[in-house]
Amino acid sequence: MDVAEQYSGTVINADSMQVYKELREVTARPSVADEKRVPHRLFGVLSGAESCSAGHWTELAVGEIKTCFDTGQLPVLVGGTGMYLKSLVEGLSPIPDIDAKYRDQATALHKTLGADAFKAEVAKLDPESAQRLPAGDTQRLIRAWEVSSATGRAFSAWQNEPRIQPLPGVNFAHIALVPPRELLYAAIDARFSRMVEGGALAEVRDLMSLDLDPALPLMKALGVSELIAHLNGDMSLDDAVAKAQQVSRNYAKRQLTWVRSQLPDAHVLTAQYSQSFRQEIFSFVQQFWLTERA
């Protein structure tokens, strides 16, 4: 928000859970006050009944970025979903549009067979994807089945094709915020406690009333399954919070690994957010912004 305010920018969401409208608190979406401070886009724009793919998000993000270019604003993409960012920066596989009936068939088959047996079905169509993906990666396995079934060609083969660049000629500057591990974990624990105090239980209760398919992405948002277990009487609130904090820390650890392996040229900032930290970001953005506009 500081960068967007300083450089007439728009904050564009690149978090796969914050695109959904139902869980503002649980997914730590920006507050109403934050959204009024600077323009925000792609936060809470989809229903939890939808399954947002990297391709769909990229299409939405490209539209918002082009709007920023047309109005002279700086697009500031924020979020930790690496697959989304890679799709935008590196391009998308040339997979044709797939009729929704194949996704419905895949979802129904997964529900009927269970995770392991469904993975075995994927292996018949796309051995490479089945070998690479764990049985618990429901969303990607369903995607592999639907694409392979609809096109008659393995999903992995499509992925190995040259990528289509959604924004040819556009350059990106990457900033990675990597605070010390102990401070990051403490912040994660404190944030989840604030979520519960701020209404996370009510949000999850309302989500349960929608009776959504458990395989949908939103149902797998960090903390949702733990809070559902508490609301169903299967876990105390303290245990649910502790478990949700643990899975959140584990996820953050995987994100840090992704940053190191996938963003080797990123401008990495390791200090706590402060005035000097803010100025370092501003200096980096200023240099990039002036270079790109020259």
Model confidence pLDDT, tens digit, residues 92-142: 888 888 888 898 899 899 989 999 999 999 999 999 999 999 998 888 899
- Residue intervals of the chain classified under CATH 1.10.20 are 100-158
pLDDT of residue 231: 97
Reported confidence tier of residue 143, pLDDT bands at 50, 70, 90: very high
Cβ contacts of residue 143 below 8 Å, gap of 6+? 53, 155
Identify any residues that bridge with 76 across adjacent strands, giving them in sequence order: 11
pLDDT band at residue 148 using 50, 70 and 90 as cut-offs: very high
Residue type, 156: S
- pLDDT for position 273: 66
What CATH number does the domain located at 2-93+169-293 have?
Answer: 3.40.50.300
Model-level pTM? 0.84
Mean per-residue pLDDT over the chain, rounded: 92
Query: Burial letters for 65-100: b for 16+ Cβ neighbours within 10 Å, e otherwise?
Result: beebeeeebbbbbbbbbbbbbbbbbebbbebeeeee
Return the half-sphere exposure (C-beta side, CA atoms, 13 A cut-off) of residue 196. 21
Give the domain 100-158 fold.
Histone, subunit A (1.10.20)
Identify the band that residue 262 occupies on the pLDDT scale cut at 50, 70 and 90: confident
Mean pLDDT of 245-261: 91
| Position 275 pLDDT exceeds 80 | no
**pLDDT score recorded for residue 15:** 96
Pick 84 or 80 by higher pLDDT. Answer: 84
